[in-house]
Amino acid sequence: METVEGQFGLEFIQIPAGEVLLGTNKGGWIHASERPRHQVNLPSYLIMKNPLTKAQVATIMGEESNDNSSYEGMDLDTLQSVCNILSKHFDDEVRAPSESEWVHAENEIQLSAGLTEFLADEATGNHRGARMDGRPRDGDLLGPMAGHRVAFATHPKNKDVKVRYSTPADRSLPKVVTRLVVSPKRSGDDIRVPDTADLGANIRSEILWTTLLGIIPSFTIPIFRGFSSYAVDGWTNLLFGGLCAGFVTGAFWRPKRATWFVEDGELTRRR
């Protein structure tokens, strides 16, 4: 990848335009916070290979430091001050990466073991309403949660093991860092993942699979084992047991959900 040198000695990697899929299409309830899976179309942008260091932040803020370790304890106020200064030297937008930008560049960037990096996206409960052009998701939350951001954390000993979660970014916390991107400014309406699911289709699917995987086996098993009378006399117990079994299977497995795409400027979905 091409390296681009910016102001204050900052080095960026040029990431070409491309597409990335975020989220999951797994149907189990435990995956609900990661749905729906959707395609994000990204323009070319610049991203720092490593998180901001203490020396870099000091230089940008007009101070002196020779400490090239990561600037741990980064918060939104400090980041905004840094971005405001750098914005005077770039025509494009300077900010933390969006989740799609970070994932798209994941193979080219580094995050040391034990660190948590927060991104520009607000930490919402799922991907509904997410932007599909690479811009960060912000302005959707009110109250204390508005200060939480999507984050990636690395294993304390193995930097190749990462987990996506959220972290408070409105205050300084140990081991929390961030990096910068220089991304084209975009304005106007954007295409987003629909805010709501097809509730009717989800209810019909749940009734079908709870019946097939829970209720029907609950009644047929005692019949096959020679307890046909219990299938009649104890039908309430069998029905309740079947419902419970159906709900448990729903936590871990249901058919894959559709993935949202943008094709010729139109929002579509495919399984």
Diameter over CA atoms, the chain = 85
Same domain, 36 and 126: yes
In a domain, residue 190? The reply is no
Same domain, 22 and 148: yes
- Tell me what pLDDT residue 127 has: 95
Q: 164 with 58, same domain? A: yes
Two tokens, residue 247 = 């709900």
* Domain hosting residue 209, numbered range: 199-270
Q: Are residues 114 and 236 in the same domain?
A: no
**CATH number of the domain where residue 36 is located:** 3.90.1580.10
What local confidence, expressed as pLDDT, does residue 132 receive? 95
Q: Are residues 150 and 221 in the same domain?
A: no
Domain count, the chain: 2
**Both 51 and 156 in a single domain?**
yes
d(CA 120, CA 104): 15
Q: Are residues 203 and 178 in the same domain?
A: no
Residue 217 lies in a domain: yes
Mean pLDDT by 10 residues, the chain (271 residues): 86 96 95 95 96 97 94 97 95 97 97 97 94 90 86 95 95 97 89 91 94 94 86 89 93 94 90 82
Answer yes or no: do 217 and 158 share one domain.
Answer: no
> Quick one: 88 and 149 in the same domain?
yes
250 lies in a domain? yes
Measured distance CA(89)–CA(220) in Å, rounded: 72
Residue 50 belongs to a domain: yes
